[in-house]
Structure 1
Amino acid sequence: MLYPLYVWKDKDSAYGARFPDLPGVFTAADELNDLPAMAQEAAETMYEGEAHIPEASSIEKWRDMADYAGGFWMLVNIDRSKINTKPVRLNISLPENLLRDIDAFAKSHQLTRSGFLAQAALKAMAQ
C-alpha cells in the first residue's frame, strides 16, 4: 500500500522521514534511495503485534499543513503483509479430507495449521 512519506534533510545530517498516516513511525537514511527500505523496517517495528494498521491517505491531505513545510514528499510502498499483527481467532469450515491433507502437509514442513494457511493466503494474494 502506498503511504505518503514526508522527508527532510538538515545540513550535515541524514535524511529524516515520517509517515503522517502512521503516528510514531520515523526513520532516517544517509542515502535517499535507502529510505523506502528503512521506512518498511520502521513500520514493521512500530506495528508488530498490533491489531490495526492505519490506512494510507493521499499527500494532498497533509501537504499544506505547517508541520510539513520545508521538506518534500515521497510515496512509499509499505508491504503490510510483512507486519506481524495480532492474531485473530476465526471459525471456518473445510472438507474433512482437505483439512487432513493440510495438517499432514503443515506437520511435514514444521508448520502449524494456522501458519500454513497464512502462508498459502499470502502466496495466493501475491499472484
Structure 2
Amino acid sequence: MDIPILIQTDSARDSRRKYGVTVPDIPGCTSSGDTVDNAMRNVTQAIYGHVGTLLRLGRAFEIKPSPFEELSKEPDYAGGIWALVSVDLAKLDV
C-alpha cells in the first residue's frame, strides 16, 4: 500500500536542516530526520510501529490513502514536499 506523506523543513530549531514528516491518513503518526532520505526511512518505521500498536491495543482503524490533490488543499499542509511510502501491513506480527 502506498501512503502519502508530507515532508517539511524546520531549520528554526538549530543550524542543521531537519525534516519533519506527517502522515495525514494516519492521525498521530509523525516522524523526522536530518535528511530527506533519513526522514522517509524513519516515517516508514513510524507507520509500522503506530499501526502495530493500534492492532495490539485492539483499536479499530482504516487506512484509506487520500489523493495528493485533496491533501494539498489543507492549509496545515502548505509548503512541504509530498511523497509516497510503500508499506506492507501484512508484515506486522501482532
1:28 partner SS: strand
1:40 aligns with 44
Is there any run of 5+ residues in structure 1 with no aligned partner, and where?
A: 86-127
Moved over 3 A (4+): none
**TM-score, normalization by structure 1:** 0.59
- Partner amino acid for 1:28? S
Of structures 1 and 2, the one with the larger relative CO (CA 8 A, separation 6+) is 2
Partner of 1:21: 25
Percent identity (aligned): 28
- Structure 1: distance between partners of 2:62 and 2:10: 30
Equivalent residue for 2:69? 60
Distance 2:91 2:43 in 1: 13
Determine the C-alpha separation between the residues in 1 that align with 2:67 and 2:30.
Answer: 18
Q: What residue in structure 2 maps to residue 7 of structure 1? A: 7
Q: How many residues align?
A: 85
Instruction: Report which of the two has the higher share of strand.
Output: 2
Aligned-residue CA RMSD (Å): 1.7
**Structure possessing the higher radius of gyration over alpha carbons:** 1
* 5+ long unaligned stretches in structure 2: none
Shift of 1:52: 3.6
Task: Tell me the distance in 1 between the aligned counterparts of 2:35 and 2:90.
Answer: 26
